[in-house]
Structure 1
C-alpha cells in the first residue's frame, strides 16, 4: 500500500486527536458558563475534556469539592475532546491567560512545551495538602517531570484491559471461583482459551477494533503485545526509531494468526466492536477500561481483568489523565494556592473517579476499602505498576498522529490487507516522516 502524504493539516488533526474513544470520553462541545465570584472568594478556573461517562463522575467530584470549599469559586469548563480542547489550551498558555488548572494526557506532555505553555507545580505546597511524590507509581510520576520540575500530576491510568463474558467463559470451562477468569499465562494458554470459547459459540471468541476512520485499536493492541516482549518504538529521547524487528514481527504475527484462525473478528469498527460484545457474540473484548459504562447499563454478564501476560512481561498499553498548570503571567497568590488545594483534594477522592473504570494513580486510593469494593473496577488495579506509555515525543500520546498513522498500518494486519513484514516496513517509514516533521503544535502557538 502506498504511504499517504503527511500534510500539515493531517499532523495538526493528529495533535488534537480523535473525536472519541481513546481516552474513554465522548466529549461535549462548548464550556460551562462562568459563575459569579462572590466577595472574599478565590476564583479557580478548571478546564477538562471529560464529556462522556467519566464526565458524570467528574461532576460529582466537583460538586463535592464546592460543598467542602465554599471560599473557592470553581468555574469548570468542559471542551470537546481532541483538537478543540488542546488547541484552546495551548493558545491560552501561550498568551499567559490560561485557567488556573487543567487536564492533559500524560504521554502528550513532551509536545506541550513544559516551561512555556505550562507552569511547574510547587511540590512543597502540594505536600502541605497531603500529596507527595511517593503517593504515585514511580514510572508514572517520573513522566510528569521535565528539566527538574514537575509539570503534571497523574490522576489515573487508563490501560487496555480484557473484558470477558462470564456466562460464555463458564460454559467454556475458563472460570475459577465465582465469576473470576482463571489465570492465563503465555500466548498458548490465551489461544487455547479463545479456541475453547469458539467451541461454545461457533463464532470468533475475541473482538477488538480492527478498522475505521482514524482507527487506533490496532496500534493499542500492537503496543500492548510489543511492550510485553520488552520492545520500544522510539529511543528514550524520542529522536530515533528503536523498533526491534524480531519482537515486532512476533506481535504482528500473533495478531494475524488470531484472525486467520477465526478466533477474532476480522472486520469491525469501534462502535461495532462494543455492539458485538454487548450482544454476547464473543467471550472476550479488548479495549480501554472506560467502556465499562457501556456494559453496566445493559445487564450483560461480564467482568474484567488485566490483559494476560502473553510474551513475558505483564504490561498493557495505556495513557494517563493528569493535572497541569497552564502558563499564567505572574502565577501565584491565592489562585495558585487554590489550584494546588484542588488537585490534592481531587486525588484524595478518586474512588468516585474509579467508578468510570479508570485506575487511580494516587496509590492510597488503591488500598481504600470503598475502592476495593468496586466490582469489577478494582480487579485490574495492579496494572498501574505495569503500564506502557509512549516514549516522550511531540507526536505521541492519546489519539496522537502516531496512533492514527500506525493504527492504519496495523489495521491491515488484522483485516488481511498487509503482511506483518509489510506492516513493519510501513510503520518505520511513517515514523521516520514523523521524526523529520517539526512540531506543528509549537509552531501554531
Structure 2
C-alpha cells in the first residue's frame, strides 16, 4: 500500500490518517491469520472486551515477556506509586502477530488502549492503515519533551509522511558477544580486556582463524535451525555495510528491490565461513549460545537482549561489542520499541495523560537499559549512570548505525517477511542451498505478498 496524504474523518484531525473500509476488512483478515491471544497480565479493560473506566486511567498494552516483562512491570508500578493505584491499567499480550492483530481489531472498534507498544518496523504499516495518531510538537512540549531529546537515527526513522508516528524508548541492535578467555588466548583483547578493533573483512577473518585455532573448531555462532529472525539479522547487518546495497523491499513492500550482487556477496561470505569451519552450519537458538558460553566458540551474534542470559551463567566472563564494519560503511540490523497512540476518540485531557505516561516511562529507561536495550531518550543515554553500565556502554554506539527493516505490511520484527527470507538464508548456512537458489526461492515465495495490496 502506498503512503497517502492524511484526510479528515469524523473525530479525527488533519494529522491522523483515515481508517478506510479496507482497513476494517483487513482487521478481520489479520485476526483470521493470527494465532490465539493469551498471556494477559490483567483482565482486558479496553478493546473488544472493553468496559467503562475512570477517565483518569491510562490503558496501556505491551508485548513484553521474560526479563523485559519484569522490568516493565516495575516501571508500571513506579507510575502507579506516583499517580495512584487506579491511574494505570496495563495488559500484556502475546508477542508478534497475535499482539498486532488484537491492536488492529481494537482500533477498528474505537476501543484501543490509550498507549501501546509497537516495534518501529511494525508501527509504519499501522500508520499506513490509518490506525495511529500523529504525535505533534505540542504533544511533546506539553510534557516537557522535544524532538532533540532522542537518538537521531531512531527518531528520524520513525518520521513517516512528515509526521511523528511513534516515540522510541530504545534501540535493540544485533550485537557481538565474546568469550574473554578464548579471545585472550587468540590475542584479540586490549590492555583493558576489551575486544580490539576488528574492522575490515580481512582483519575479521584473521580473528576467526585465530579463534578457531584456540577452540579447535568454531570461531563464531549464529542460530539458524528452527530460527528465522537470526539469519535475517545476520544478513541485513552485513548487506547494509555494502555501498551497493539497495532496499530489500520498496514501495511499502510492493517491490522486491534487493541488489542481487550484494546479496550474493554476503551469502557467499557466510557460505565460505561455514566451509572453513569458522561458522556453524546447524545450531538452534539455545545451542548457538551454549557453544560460546562454554568456550567452544569465541564469538556469538544475537540481539543485545541476551545479555541477561549471559549474566546468569555462573563463572562466564564475557564482553559485548558492536558488530565490526567488514565492508564499506558501518551498519547493524536493529529495531526499536516505541510508544504509539492508537487512533481513537479522546479528549485533550486523555491525550495529555497518555503523553504523561510515555514521559514517565522514558524517565525510567535506565532500568529498561539494564536488560540490554540502548536508551533512545538522550537524558538517560547521556547520564553518568548509563555511561558506566557494563557491558552496555561498549556497544551503545550501535544505535547510531542502526538499519531497520524496510516498511511493508507483511514486514518488521517477528513478521511473515522475516520468516520467509530468514528460512532461505538459514538453508544456505546449513549447506542445504546455494546463495543463488535461496534468492530465487525468496523471489518466488514473496511474490504473493508483493502482489497483494495491504489489508490495512
Deviation sequence 1:217-236 (CA, Å, 0-9, x none) = 11111111001113121236
Seen in structure 2, the aligned counterparts of structure 1 residues 354 and 439 have a Cα distance that, compared at 3 Å, is same
Greater shift, 109-118 or 239-248, is seen at 109-118
Seen in structure 2, the aligned counterparts of structure 1 residues 301 and 71 have a Cα distance that, compared at 3 Å, is closer
Q: Which secondary structure does the structure 1 equivalent of 2:300 belong to? A: strand
Q: Counterparts in 2 of 1:292-331, with a 5 A limit?
A: 292-299=307-314, 300-328=316-344, 330-331=345-346
Q: Which secondary structure does the structure 1 equivalent of 2:333 belong to? A: strand
Q: How far off its partner does 1:245 sit?
A: 1.7
Contact map agreement 2:215 2:295 (CA 8 A) in 1 = no
Partner Cα distance (1:276, 1:343) in 2:
39
Greater shift, 203-212 or 132-141, is seen at 132-141
Selected match of 1:354 from 363, 369, 380: 369
Partner Cα distance (1:61, 1:81) in 2:
19
1:332 maps to 2:347: yes
Contact map agreement 1:226 1:251 (CA 8 A) in 2 = yes
Q: Which secondary structure does the structure 2 equivalent of 1:164 belong to? A: strand
1:63 maps to 2:63: no
Alignment-derived partner of residue 3 in structure 1 = none
Q: How far off its partner does 1:136 sit?
A: 2.0
Deviation sequence 1:390-443 (CA, Å, 0-9, x none) = 111111110111100001111111000111122222223333332112324x2x
Q: Counterparts in 2 of 1:115-264, with a 5 A limit?
A: 116-212=130-226, 215-230=228-243, 231=245, 232-235=247-250, 237-264=252-279
1:112 maps to 2:112: no
Alignment-derived partner of residue 7 in structure 2 = none
Deviation sequence 1:357-378 (CA, Å, 0-9, x none) = 1111112222110111110012
Deviation sequence 1:183-237 (CA, Å, 0-9, x none) = 111111111111111111102111111121x522111111110011131212365
Alignment-derived partner of residue 427 in structure 2 = 412
Contact map agreement 1:162 1:307 (CA 8 A) in 2 = yes
Q: Which secondary structure does the structure 2 equivalent of 1:228 belong to? A: coil
Contact map agreement 1:14 1:401 (CA 8 A) in 2 = no
Alignment-derived partner of residue 403 in structure 2 = 388
Contact map agreement 1:304 1:380 (CA 8 A) in 2 = yes
Partner Cα distance (1:90, 1:280) in 2:
45
Contact map agreement 1:43 1:73 (CA 8 A) in 2 = yes
Greater shift, 384-393 or 274-283, is seen at 274-283
Q: Which secondary structure does the structure 2 equivalent of 1:356 belong to? A: coil
Contact map agreement 2:142 2:352 (CA 8 A) in 1 = no
Q: Which secondary structure does the structure 2 equivalent of 1:119 belong to? A: coil
Q: How far off its partner does 1:242 sit?
A: 1.9
Greater shift, 151-160 or 139-148, is seen at 139-148
Seen in structure 2, the aligned counterparts of structure 1 residues 13 and 412 have a Cα distance that, compared at 3 Å, is farther
Q: Which secondary structure does the structure 2 equivalent of 1:307 belong to? A: coil
Alignment-derived partner of residue 31 in structure 1 = 41
Cα RMSD, aligned residues only: 2.6
Partner Cα distance (1:421, 1:14) in 2:
34
Seen in structure 2, the aligned counterparts of structure 1 residues 438 and 111 have a Cα distance that, compared at 3 Å, is same
Partner Cα distance (2:302, 2:96) in 1:
19
Gaps of 5+ in 1: 1-7, 20-26
Partner Cα distance (1:390, 1:74) in 2:
32
Partner Cα distance (2:32, 2:304) in 1:
23
Partner Cα distance (1:40, 1:12) in 2:
30
Alignment-derived partner of residue 382 in structure 2 = 367
Gaps of 5+ in 2: 1-25, 46-50
TM-score by length of 1: 0.88
